[in-house]
Amino acid sequence: MKHILLLLCICFAFGRIASGQKAAQVISHNDSLRVEAYWDSANYSPLHSQRRQRYLDSALAITPWNAFFWQQKAMPLCKQKKYEIGMPYLDSAVKYNKQEYVDYRAFMKCIFQKNYTSAIVDFNTARQINGNIGLMDHSYFFYMGLCYLQLDQFDSAEYFIHKSINDQKKSLGENWVHYMDLFYMGIVQYEKGDYVKAIEDFDKSLKQYKNFSDAKYYKAVCLSRLNMKEDALKIALEGIQDFKGGYTINEDNSFYEEYPYQVRKYFFDNQISGLESMLKKAKG
């Protein structure tokens, strides 16, 4: 029984050294036990604590090639917006296991760090290695579209979001296209000044997520630009009620970071007061 437990410990330690890591080395049985003990202690420490970081440092002192431990050091720091110290740890994770972590680094650069040009480079690398498998419920094409959107390169943004939408249509059917893809396609059309097309895309997004306040806000903007002020006010009033009910972008990581074009309450406040003022003035 003792030998079985020791074997399991060794397997656990080396299981964390994912395939494709650089320069993985054989370590002694005693060091394997120490690494597991440090990892267990890290897990019993608060996620954002210095104590957890020190246990990970101890594990890395024995297995500096373990990409997973580097990623675990980076993740809580990035969620605290400490990118300057967190991202170098993530660079180490990619150094030792590019296949596993280059797309994760791309995601962190896109959604957290807002380093869009560098994120595009990483997503292209991830596509070369992994195809277009994606992560966090979205394809690489989706995130590349967001990056180009944030760089005001709207034609490129449209190209990649369109590819993401088409891939979903082919594999899942038109009714299963993610509401976020449809929302951002609407944003692209809004930025390009095609308000009719933007409204069509926002309506498609709302068909999937009927209380989506962000889509209603931008739909109201487009209606107003088309001089449909009463319709704009109606949808804006619906939108602010949905917003107050918590119906906004609900991506897992939106708890930590706002997503591009995510609406805040004062957006609605200014929109509604402006529309009410214009309608009152028009009525004399």
Expressed as residue numbers, the domain containing 85 is 29-96
What whole-number distance in Å separates Cα of residue 272 and Cα of residue 232?
9
> Has residue 40 been placed in a domain?
yes
Residue 283 DSSP class = T
Please give the Cα distance from 196 to 203 (Å, whole number): 11
Give the pLDDT score at 30: 94
Distance of CA 212 to the CA centre of its chain: 18
Q: Do the Cβ atoms of 99 and 67 come closer than 8 Å?
A: no
The tokens describing 177, both together, are 């296209």
pLDDT at residue 52, rounded to an integer:
97
DSSP for 192-240 reads TT-HHHHHHHHHHHHHHSTT-HHHHHHHHHHHHHTT-HHHHHHHHHHHH
Q: How many domains does the chain have?
A: 2
Q: Look at residue 138 and give its three-state secondary structure.
A: strand
In a domain, 15, yes or no: no
CA angle, corner 148, sides to 144 and 149, nearest 5?
A: 110
Looking at residue 22, what is its pLDDT? 57
- Domain membership flag for residue 33: yes
Of 61, 96, 131, the last residue of a domain is: 96
Domain boundary among 77, 96, 115: 96
Q: What is the pLDDT of residue 282?
A: 86
pLDDT, residue 206, reads 98
User: What pLDDT sits at residue 192?
Assistant: 98
pLDDT block averages, 10 residues each, the chain of length 284:
37 40 76 96 96 97 97 96 96 97 97 97 96 89 98 98 95 89 98 98 97 98 97 98 96 89 97 95 82
Q: Is residue 84 part of a domain?
A: yes
Q: Is the dihedral of CA 75, 79, 82, 87 positive or negative?
A: positive
Tokens standing for 129? 């290695």
Predicted model pTM:
0.87
Q: Are 252 and 271 in contact (CB under 8 A)?
A: no
Report yes or no on 233 lying in a domain: yes
The domain boundary residue, chosen from 96, 120, 148:
96
Looking at residue 18, its pLDDT comes to 39
CA–CA separation, 255 and 214 (whole Å): 16
